[in-house]
């Protein structure tokens, strides 16, 4: 692990943590962290940005505080005492639920790897690769300007990626508003056209009724003249 530390991001986990008593697990975690520090092994440190909201900062802090992750793995569906069907392991004394944060840290590990910190981990991997590449090229006698080997700050790159993402969202919102306004304008135009057609039909019907009334008046007048 000491050699691997220079090339990869280390995320320590405790496999089969259900074999450790709950009251001993925190002590076990602290001992592992002390051993890692003693041997100079850097574990993953998730960046916290000042621009993030309090909820995001609290979430990242909570994930970092769970290291090393105590993991229980299982694909089996088991029934709990209250009748729920969950992924976990059944024992004579009870059920260990994989997706229950009170039982293990699997949810936090999944959250870090897939949901909240995937981009951060990708940036850290790129940073370590650039450091390895620089060291390897220098060991082969390749000399270039230092700027060739410089790597952007992961926090800055994340901020840039966030800015690009926000710009895309703003453009999508603008496009959606434009589409909505166009649809509204088309609908209003159709309604106006329908209104004009109804009004024109009304005028035609009224004109026809007026003509029919005039004709009836004329017939009435003629009949009156005949019987005088």
- The verdict on residue 166 lying in a domain is yes
84, 183: one domain: no
176, 120: one domain: no
Work out whether the CA dihedral 83, 85, 90, 94 comes out positive or negative.
negative
87, 136: one domain: yes
Residue 149 is predicted with a pLDDT of 47
Domain count for the chain, please give it.
Answer: 2
139, 81: one domain: yes
Q: Which of 118, 143, 168 is the last residue of a domain?
A: 143
- The verdict on residue 150 lying in a domain is no
166, 219: one domain: yes
170, 92: one domain: no
Number of Cβ atoms within 10 Å of the Cβ of 60: 19
CATH of the domain at 53: 3.40.50.300
Residue 150 is predicted with a pLDDT of 52
Q: What is the DSSP letter of 67?
A: P
45, 21: one domain: yes
Q: Which of 143, 166, 184 is the last residue of a domain?
A: 143
- The verdict on residue 8 lying in a domain is no
- The verdict on residue 45 lying in a domain is yes
- The verdict on residue 125 lying in a domain is yes
pLDDT average per 10 residues of sequence, the chain (228 residues): 79 88 88 91 82 82 90 89 90 89 90 85 83 81 59 66 84 90 90 90 90 87 78
Residue 31 is predicted with a pLDDT of 93
130, 23: one domain: yes
Backbone angles phi, psi at 100, to 5 degrees: -105, 115
> What CA–CA distance (Å, rounded) separates 70 from 72?
7
190, 135: one domain: no
Q: Does the predicted model carry a pTM greater than 0.75?
A: no
- The verdict on residue 48 lying in a domain is yes
17, 115: one domain: yes
Backbone angles phi, psi at 203, to 5 degrees: -65, -40
Which stretch of DSSP H or E encloses residue 187? Answer: helix 154-226
Residue 40 is part of which domain span?
Answer: 13-143
- The verdict on residue 172 lying in a domain is yes
Nearest residue to 99 via CA among 85, 111, 82, 87? 87
């Amino acid at each position: 692990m000491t050699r691997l530390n220079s090339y990869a991001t280390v995320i320590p986990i405790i496999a089969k943590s259900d074999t450790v008593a709950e009251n001993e697990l925190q002590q076990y975690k602290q001992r592992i962290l002390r051993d890692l520090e003693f041997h100079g092994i850097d574990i993953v440190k998730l960046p916290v940005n000042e621009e993030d909201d309090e909820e995001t900062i609290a979430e990242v802090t909570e994930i970092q505080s769970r290291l090393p992750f105590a993991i229980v793995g299982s694909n089996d569906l088991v029934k709990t005492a209250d009748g729920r069907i969950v992924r976990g392991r059944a024992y004579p004394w009870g059920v260990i639920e994989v997706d229950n944060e009170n039982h293990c840290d699997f949810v936090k590990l999944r959250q870090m790897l897939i949901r909240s910190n995937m981009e951060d981990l990708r940036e850290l991997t790129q940073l370590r690769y650039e450091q390895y590449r620089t060291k390897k090229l220098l060991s082969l006698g390749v000399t270039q300007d230092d700027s060739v080997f410089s790597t952007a700050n992961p926090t800055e790159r994340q901020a840039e990626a966030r800015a690009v993402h926000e710009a895309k969202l703003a453009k999508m919102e603008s496009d959606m508003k434009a589409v909505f306004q166009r649809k509204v304008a088309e609908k209003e135009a159709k309604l106006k056209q329908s209104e004009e057609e109804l009004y024109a039909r009304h005028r035609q019907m009224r004109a026809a009724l007026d003509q029919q009334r005039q004709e009836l008046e004329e017939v009435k007048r003629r009949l009156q003249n005949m019987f005088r």
